[in-house]
Structure 1
């Protein structure tokens, strides 16, 4: 009777150790999770450059004629002035949706608030890269306009209007205690589309997860 119970006890002990080992393997460390979130944020930031080029390609441009010392538009109040902002918002929403779904699917072992933070910060940095790329193209364009011969037709690159980010001015406002003025220099405008959508979709999927830890047990 005793000999029969002993092997059963040994098997139970081995099974418990096996389960403990599996649970330990499934729960990544905090340092590793932060590393994954940082890589995710860096990857999304780097993707901003090809997305910026794509944004410039798909966005209609405003036609401008060089007029010697100045310039003139071929039509009054062209819709292309606002289409740059609208196309960036649409691109950001689509990119945020895809980024959230891919992050949830591919990084299932590290699901949680830390990866969500990396997703949101990376999405915001992605949009800032696109915005700054547009600013650079915009400034180079006007340099070309000044040097262009009179009557030369040129097409202005896409540039975002609904953004006001000046970290230096915001810092000075904070130092002076003007909190309201600080936030007025940190208006994301259309750049908030991608991080908002990414956070919304990721947390929405997490809310429907059947796992308490968000990771498959």
Structure 2
């Protein structure tokens, strides 16, 4: 309940006492105050169904505290087939037109996303670029090592790979982008780039060169 509620509903119960059903501003009731003879259908979230109330009386409360409004006295009534049909049709129409609005909104967004210079375009570009973001956060030197190993697969020794060192290769091996492939005829460790390493390089190149 809020002091902004200019319409408040009160349900008549068996002992002639009343229980508050809440209410709302007049805009919540289609812009007009419910009148005697009207039926109010309220959706009960817990019951996942409508409950129906017939308006028995309405009273305007002229309060000295500037919280004046209408008190609507209602009585619960059993749902008839007509009432259920009307509420079902209302929900179906609401869903239909909401889907139409959502589709139109999506079409406008998609059109704007294809138009360079719009906020939607920059947002879409950022989202698309993010799909190719590298996974391992390698620095430029480490990416250079992977790039060289792809271009020169036969050069497997650390001394043959520019900017590579034992600590660098051990780090790259630990995350699975290179592998220790055994030793050379001279007993030196040989290194090879893995499938994941090639994939990481491909992601980085696409991410780094996006929009260029």
TM-score interval, normalised by the smaller of the two chains: under 0.3
Higher RCO, Cα 8 Å, sep 6+: 1
Higher-helix-fraction structure: 1
* Bigger radius of gyration among the two: 2
Normalising by structure 2, report the TM-score: 0.24
Normalising by structure 1, report the TM-score: 0.24
